Amino acid sequence: MADQDHPAGDKPSSGVSGDHTVREERYKRYWRENLNLMGVLLVIWFTVSYGFGILFRDILDNFSIGGAPLGFWFAQQGAIYVFVILIFVYSAMMNRIERKYDAEDENA
């Protein structure tokens, strides 16, 4: 997410030039950023569904949203909204990461 460190030399040179090890290094950094982003999003994914909706719902049910207990609401509504947001956030962030590493996919 936003707390990702930008690698030194923010603007990598274009993919065609540069020798093998440079490209290897860039690939590694790209992949690590991808995995970090994925990890953060999957933690949120787990928290809103299994956490809020199932494991800790009794605690959350002490609060309410409108006329619904909060834990119950997460299990039947809230988790789904968060899922949608997660996918679009991933999609947007990945497009940024790919642009940064000059790895956008071109139209086939």
Partner 1 sequence: MESTIFGLDTTLFWTAFFVIGTFGLYIGIAIWARASTTEDFYVAGHDVHPVFNGMATAADWMSAASFLSMAGLIAFMGYDGSVFLMGWTGGYVLLALLLAPYLRKFGKFTVPDFVGDRYYSQAARIMAVICALFISFTYIAGQMRGTGIAFSNFLGVPIEAGVIIGAIIVLFYAGLGGMKGVTYTQVAQYCVLIFAFTVPAVFLSIQITGNPLPQLGFIGNTADGTPLLMSLDRTLTDLGFTSYLQGEKAMIDVVAITAALMVGTAGLPHVIIRFFTVPRASDARRSAGWALIFIAALYTTAPAVAVFARSNFIDTVNESVYSVDVARQEARASEMGEDATPQWFYNWERTGLLGFTDKNDDGRIQYRADPETNEVTTLDRDIFVLANPEIGGLPGWVIGLVVAGGLAAALSTAAGLLMVISSAVSHDLCRKVLFQNMSDTQELLVARVAAVGAVLVAIYAGINPPGFVAAVVAFAFGLGAASFFPVIFLGIFWKRMNKEGAIAGMVVGLSITAAYIVHFKIGFSSIVLGVVALIIGIVLLIMHFGLKGEGDTRPMLIGSIVFGLIFLGGAFGVLPDIAPGTADQWFLGVSPEGFGSVGMVISFITATLVALATKAPPEEIQNMVEDIRMPSSVSHVTHGNAPAE
Does residue 62 interact with partner 1 by CB under 8 A? no
CB 88 within 8 A of CB 47: no
User: How many residues interact with partner 1 (rule CB under 8 A)?
Assistant: 51
Does residue 94 interact with partner 1 by CB under 8 A? yes
Q: Which residues bind partner 1 (CB under 8 A)?
A: 15-16, 20, 23-24, 26-27, 30-31, 34, 38, 41-42, 45, 49-50, 53-55, 61, 64-69, 72-73, 75-77, 79-81, 83-84, 86-88, 90-91, 94-95, 98, 102-108
